[in-house]
Amino acid sequence: MPAISGVGHGIYRSSLARRMAQWLDALPQPLLACEIAPRYVAAARWTRRGNTLDGFAVEPLPDGAILPSAVETNLADASAVRAAVSQVFGRLRARGQEVALLVPDPVIRVFVLHFDSFPRSADEAIPMLRWKLKKSVPFEPEETLISFMRQAPREDGVDIVTALARLRIIREYELLMQGAGMVPVVVMSSTLAALPLLEDRRPTMLARVSGTTLTTAIVRESILCGYRCTDLPVTAARLTPRALLDEVYPISAYYQDTWSEGIQSVRLAGLLDRAEEFGPVLEAELRCPVSALLHAAEAEGRISGDARPLADRQLDALVGWMLKRG
């Protein structure tokens, strides 16, 4: 998904910004990936040949250790997070290696923007995106990292997947990796990493809960058609089917209005073992089948046997990254 460029020459000259230019396309394919989530840190390693799982480790985090935000400091308990990161890499005996870093969704703001025409040159594209999103960026331009990816053209123009992040926040996560002796070479939000798990020949909605964040994405024929990240008042354990429906319905209606067709399937993630509770309410209102993301992906043959340990721990972002590495 998109390549990142700095909105401001000072950022673009930094080594971090050059690495961030790998966000969404031309991705490196490191053998290690690490997901930092509100409740855990997980890392996985793959073999050089065959892309099979070579090992993984998970460490829980205390409540409130990470407070995901695009603007404010994320590491509320930095020592606990650093310890968990060190432990997962220690269990994998990994040091000095390149790693893909999967961060909480609120850290990276993702937009799907429509243009009648869009320049080929990044020098022209970045100022256009900057102007389009100026009211959506809650931090100064010199602190902004921006990434974009051109999608397949439509009859009336082209949709551009655009991602924004604050340099200072990305540095927090990068320093965690460097402190453990690792070399982060790509940064991506967890839900974007999980998207390869979707069967996308028909319009499919993913509703993914992590902590108190709900991310909703719609994919159709490898095109990201919609993306929305919202705060929930409760965690997955206390979320009700009706409350989830109220959150996902607006993006479903947006898709129908924009693409003149309805959602044809829904996949749920991050709901612990409660996915079946949500099916009847969502199916009745959205009029399409609803199932758990990892269960459906396994039934469709997307998850190989060696990836099952990750799926059993509900590590959908790491499984998705494994598929992305392909």
* pLDDT, greater one: 237 or 3: 237
Confidence at 10, pLDDT banded by 50, 70, 90: very low
The candidate with the shortest Cα–Cα distance to 145, out of 118, 119, 173, 120, is: 173
187-209 tens-digit pLDDT: 999 999 999 999 778 999 999 99
In this structure, what DSSP letter does residue 20 have? H
Alpha carbon separation from 154 to 116, 161, 204, 224, 284 (Å, rounded): 9, 14, 19, 13, 31
3-state DSSP helix/strand/coil percent for the chain, to nearest 5? 35, 30, 35
State how beta strands 290-292 and 265-269 pair.
parallel
Query: How is 144-162 classified by DSSP, letter by letter?
Result: EEEEEEE---BTTBEEEEE
Return d(Cα 117, Cα 210) in angstroms, integer: 36
Residues 6+ apart with CB under 8 A from 169: 69, 70, 71, 73, 74, 107
152-182 tens-digit pLDDT: 888 888 999 998 899 999 999 999 999 999 9
Residue 22 has pLDDT above 60, yes or no: no
Q: What pLDDT does 209 receive? A: 98
Q: What pLDDT does 1 receive? A: 52
Residue 7 has pLDDT above 60, yes or no: no
**What fold characterizes domain 200-301?**
Nucleotidyltransferase; domain 5 (3.30.420)
Average pLDDT in the chain: 89
Indicate the residue type of 137.
V
Contact 30, 166 (CB under 8 A): no
What is the location of CATH 3.30.420.40 in the chain? Answer: 200-301
The candidate with the shortest Cα–Cα distance to 293, out of 266, 255, 321, is: 266
Q: What pLDDT does 26 receive? A: 56
The CATH class given to the 1-196 domain equals alpha beta
Q: Tell how far CA 150 is from the center of its chain.
A: 18
Return d(Cα 112, Cα 126) in angstroms, integer: 15
53-89 tens-digit pLDDT: 999 999 999 999 999 999 999 999 999 999 999 999 9
Confidence at 122, pLDDT banded by 50, 70, 90: confident
Contact 126, 134 (CB under 8 A): no
Contact 29, 163 (CB under 8 A): no
Mean pLDDT of 23-47: 86
252-267 tens-digit pLDDT: 999 999 899 999 999 9
Q: What percent of the chain has pLDDT over 90?
A: 71
Token pair for residue 236? 């997955």
